[in-house]
Amino acid sequence: MVGLSHRAKAALKGFQTEPDCRNTEFATHPHREYESLKDEFIGDRHRLRQFVKTLGDYTLIPGGALSLGDTSSFQISDPDNEYYKYIRDAYGTNVVTASTHISIGVSDPEDIIRVYRVLRCEAALFLAMTAASPWLDGKATGFHSTRWHIFPRTPPHVPLFARHEDYTAWVEEKLRTGEMQNHRHLWVGARPNGDDAPRSLNRVELRICDRISHPVSLLGVVAFLEARISHLIEQTAEDPLSGKRFSETELLEMVTANEQAVSRSSLDAEVVRWSDGKRLGVREWVEELLQQVLPLATAGGYDAYLDGVTRILEKGSIAKRWLDREAAGESIQEILIDAIHHAEECDIACANTPCEMAFEECADE
């Protein structure tokens, strides 16, 4: 298997290596239309799936962690890459995870920083919906998102940043001291981003989601995020740092506690809302936000995609469904084999417009 992702990069346009060869990365182009996004995403994933089959008995594994192992060794994809060697030596296999990062374009840098502040405080909601890594090395870990439980937050303390210039100065200082190896070496639930970050920003990136296998769920989460960001740009007073109820230190402690809670229980977790300090269930908070942002999604013509989020709330996270099946007597191997086949079927069906697979079938494991 050594060098598998390196071979994918060499053979497939748009694919990149990750430090461990069991991971590869691809990014879609910016899109305004959801169908175009879906087509490119599924097309790229289909190309990757077909390519790895030419190399042997390989396929794409659903989930966000090394469900069946092996975490005993780091399989570096490029031994000559100094950054990869740093990642291996600093973090080991805790970084060998799979995730879906979602970026939404925003034009004003100060809007990006404010949206980032809110998303840092609400990222746990998105992890709760997408948690899909309950196993590691063939065993249940006690977490719905083992990935986010083990993944190293870097640097350990990342402020909420009051202004763009504060963010720029902070990143440049971390680069100077070596706490960050490059501007992408900022691993938290959400971050400002741009082609020339930190000085030039054009998007907000949500990084907390476990890998989202199914197109219906993926587009639902993207639509929810877009609508939430659109709402925040309109409602400029909605800002964690504008109130007097919580200090920044208290807000960051809240972020950590909420993310720990949903890492363990996903949609069944209780969290604390940053705006008022209320303790509530994740489902209740997401449902309230859905109603709040629905008019914006409707005006933008993408409200139908929010059904993907509604379905997740009804059925539960992938991790919870998998654990329920394991508790009923299925082996982890059996569950994953079924999930692999189901993900392949969904990609094939949704490669057509409209998706030929019934909504319920495509969204379920």
CB of 313 within 8 A of CB of 302?
Answer: no
What is the structure's pLDDT at 350?
82
Domains of the chain: residue spans and CATH: 102-363 (3.30.590.20)
For residue 103, the cross-strand partners are 205
- Structure-token pair, residue 175: 């680069």
Number of residues assigned to the chain? 365
What pLDDT digit, counting tens, does each position of 161-171 carry? 999 999 999 99
Give the C-alpha separation, 149 to 166, whole Å: 29
Amino acid at 58: Y
Beta bridge partners of 154: 187
> Which regions in the chain score pLDDT beneath 70?
1-3, 353-365
Please tell me the predicted confidence (pLDDT) of residue 351: 78
Contact at 8 Å (CB) between 257 and 272?
yes
The string of DSSP letters for 26-78 reads E-PPP-SSHHHHHHHHHHHHHHHHHHHHHTSS--PPPSSS-TT---SS--BS-
- Cα separation, 256 vs 178, in Å, equals 24
- How far apart (Å, rounded) are the C-alpha atoms in residues 340 and 60? 7
User: What is the structure's pLDDT at 75?
Assistant: 94
